[in-house]
Structures are given as C-alpha cells and as structure tokens.
Amino acid sequence: MSSLPKVDFVTIGESMILFQPMPEGSIAYAPLYSKSVGGAESNVALGLSRLGKNTRWISRLGKDPFGDIIMSTLAGEGVDVSHVIRDEEASPTAVFFKEAKGYGDPNVYYYRKHSAASKFKPEDVDSKWFENARHLHVTGITPALGENTTDMIKEAMKKAKEQGLTVSFDPNLRRKLWSEEEARETLLSLIPLCDIFMPGDDEANFLLGEKTEEEYCQAFIEMGAKLVVLKLGTKGSMAKFGDTVIYGDPYKVESVVDTVGAGDAFAAGFLSVLLDLEDPLSLNALQSAAPKALTRANTMGALATQFKGDWEGAPSLSEVENIIAGKQSTTR
C-alpha cells in the first residue's frame, strides 16, 4: 500500500521568480521591483488547489534562494512539491521580468536558458510522480526549454497513461523560446498522446492554418484527442467530443489589468469540473459537465485579467460559484 497521498492532479513544468517594476512602468527606469512566482503549470496547480483539489507539481529547481521561494510558495498554497528535483550542479532557478506600460499586453523578458528545468531528461521521469493520481496536465512550454525536454514530456505522458491517468495538454505557445517550425512540429507530435487538448484559436491557427472553429476541433480529434476545448478570447470558448459541440458564453469584464495567466486560470476552471467526475471522459459525463466546465473556465479566465500577478487573485470554489450565480459582482 503506497504511503503517498492521493492527488487529483499532477503537472510538470518550470516555475520562475517574476520581477515587476514598482511603480508600474518601464524596466529601464524602475528603481524597485516586486517579487512573485510565475509559471504556466504551477499556475494551474495553484488555481486548482484554491478550488479544493489535491495537486502535485513536478519540476527541477536550482539549489538557490529563488528555488527555495518557489518551493515554500507552492507548499504554502497546499501544492505537493515532494517530488521536485533540486539541481546539484549549480544550474540556476530561472527568472523573468514583466513590464506593463498601461497599454496592450505586458512585455515579458525570460532569463531561463541553462536553467535547472532546462536540464530535464527522459530518465528523470519516475512512476512515483503519478502514483495515487488521477490526471496529468502538461503544456508546450516545457518541451521548448532544453535539448531533452521534449522527450521527457513525451515519456511522462506515456507513463501517466500506462498508470491509468487522463492527460490534458495546453500548447501555451511561447514564440520567444523556439523557432516556429520546431514549435509546430513538436506541438503537433504531442496531441496524439493527450486525452484533452486545450488550444486558443490563435494557437490552432498556428498549428493548422486558416479553418473554422469546428474544423479545428475535428482535426485535433482525428489526431487522437478525445476532447478538444478551444479558447475563443472575447467570444468565450467551445468544446467538442464525439459528434457534440458546445459553446460557452464569455464572462465579460469592464477592463483588463493583465492578461498573463488567464489561460492557466481557464484550464484550472475547466479541469476542476471534470475532476469532480468518476469517469470524466465518458460521453454521458461530458454531455452534462461540459457546459458547467466551460462556464467556470470562462469566468476564471476573465477574473484572472483583473489583477497583476500570474495566480495570486485566483478564487476559491465558493467565490467562483457565487460570481457565476450572480451573488458577487466584478469590481474592476
């Protein structure tokens, strides 16, 4: 009998220390910076933890103060970090800077080359990562980090499925990390290994060229995904499984503070509903759960745009349910 705690959700990826100018403005003239933690996969884990799910985050971190900060932050939010590898070879924990100037999306500058997480390799994948777990979530960021990280993610997806986990994949395209040709080829190669594919409409266009929304979904299902969830920005989102297509209306906000982390909040919202189900990918379960999942995902994605920081404003389950029920209004 395993002594490991049961977890609903496992994810693998790099988290970094995020620095932002204080006060908000240009990096070139900032006298002070705020410090926080950011990373797509840990953002989803943190969002799900706030929603009452048991989560586990796998990564490689440097043996440095930045790694210590990430570990304590996630553990403090209830995320299991017991399988995180601390790099003994002086590879650093990555950092990044976000610069918001009051218009458009913020500029993001990464300092993650040769980081501890970029040294991930297939031999690192351990069956204990997935023990007593139900679901694995990965993104297209980790494959872009290093020489062996694509093979590591593929090995993790295969091993998770062998151990009975369902697998979701958000392409989370980061054009700064690799060439478009390499990104397209790698991301397409991962779709057959997942059960749930969660692209944005711009990412679907990047992968397949110009098509209709339903054509995108059908193409991804033909590649092997059982459920495709397509994020449509201000138009909301849609899901396709079998012959069924369901659209979710957007949750409207008056203004946007910061878009970074909105897609991760969306993923946490959607997966939180499926993780309530015993057999989440059965057609009967999806028929009843998909509308609720899209509504919660759209709401959480929109709420994430209302605060600075990747995850700090993520709501609890009661908070998001009250907002959807109209018992609480958005204040910004």
Paired residues of 128 in beta bridges: none
Count Cβ atoms below 10 Å from residue 80 Cβ, excluding itself.
21
Q: Are 7 and 132 in contact (CB under 8 A)?
A: yes
For residue 19, give the amino acid letter.
F
What is the distance between the alpha carbons of residues 89 and 154, in angstroms, rounded to a whole number?
25
Q: Which of 288, 23, 8, 260 is nearest to 136 (CA)?
A: 8
Q: Are 56 and 46 in contact (CB under 8 A)?
A: no
What is the distance between the alpha carbons of residues 302 and 72, in angstroms, rounded to a whole number?
28
3 state SS for 149-178: HHHHHHHHHHHHHHCCCEEEEECCCCCCCC
What is the distance between the alpha carbons of residues 179 and 165, in angstroms, rounded to a whole number?
31
Q: Are 315 and 50 in contact (CB under 8 A)?
A: yes
Q: Which of 321, 184, 293 is nearest to 236 (CA)?
A: 293
**Which residues fall within 8 angstroms of residue 215, CB to CB, at 6 or more apart?**
none
Q: Taking the alpha carbons of 172, 16, 87, 72 in that order, is the dihedral positive or negative?
A: negative
Query: 3-class SS at 300?
Result: helix
Q: What is the DSSP letter of 39?
A: -
Active site residues: 264
